[in-house]
Chain A
């Protein structure tokens, strides 16, 4: 039983570099989400996808992009990393396309440090 996997587990990145965080789920959930978690703050939604082929912007989308080519994968790309993007990133999935109505299952997270 895998659920949701994320890669890499952690990464140190030079500012200005491009980086893609990977997320894969095997639960056949339609909806997937990317959050960032910073000390003292609640998780904040970056981007979401209600179903394969569609994506939407969350609360803090600037500097990030996503794609959803199929049901299982939802990669998050930082086109040109900046130090303020240092954070822990969580991918989540849900069996409901309505964020507030389905249970969300979270991956183990990726700890990203941008220097």
Chain B
């Protein structure tokens, strides 16, 4: 069973609307959580990296939140644009010395005009 579960698998939103993606993880111990954006046919690109002591971090219209107690994270996209159409991947780093990365399967977001 994947230690990083994302929901929904996919969603369609209208341009200009907001949306929130969810990430639940069971990785323990945990050191940091990352959100990546992956455009179709491209490699993932980092949006945010949060340690267990951080509750929120923003990158432009992207805001990530983290609740290390409940092992949940969310990525909020504000005022979506067509360029936000992509897969968003949640990645959790284990708290061991090397920090093995566990990748979620991603949420596919489609922004329509």
Binding site for B on A (CB under 8 A): 4, 40-45, 90, 92, 98-101, 103-109
Contact = CB atoms under 8 A, between A and B. Distances in A.
B103 A109 contact: no
Interface stretch (B11-19, B41-49, B77-85): B41-49
Interface residues on B, range: 20 to 34
Interface of B: 2, 4, 31-32, 41-46, 49, 89, 91, 93-106
A98 B43 contact: no
A92 B34 CA distance: 15
B59 to A, nearest CB: 13
27 contacts: A41-B2, A42-B2, A42-B105, A44-B103, A90-B44, A92-B43, A98-B97, A98-B98, A99-B93, A99-B99, A99-B101, A100-B31, A100-B94, A100-B95, A100-B96, A100-B98, A100-B99, A100-B100, A100-B101, A101-B93, A103-B49, A106-B44, A106-B45, A107-B43, A108-B42, A108-B43, A109-B42
B55 to A, nearest CB: 20
A42 B98 contact: no
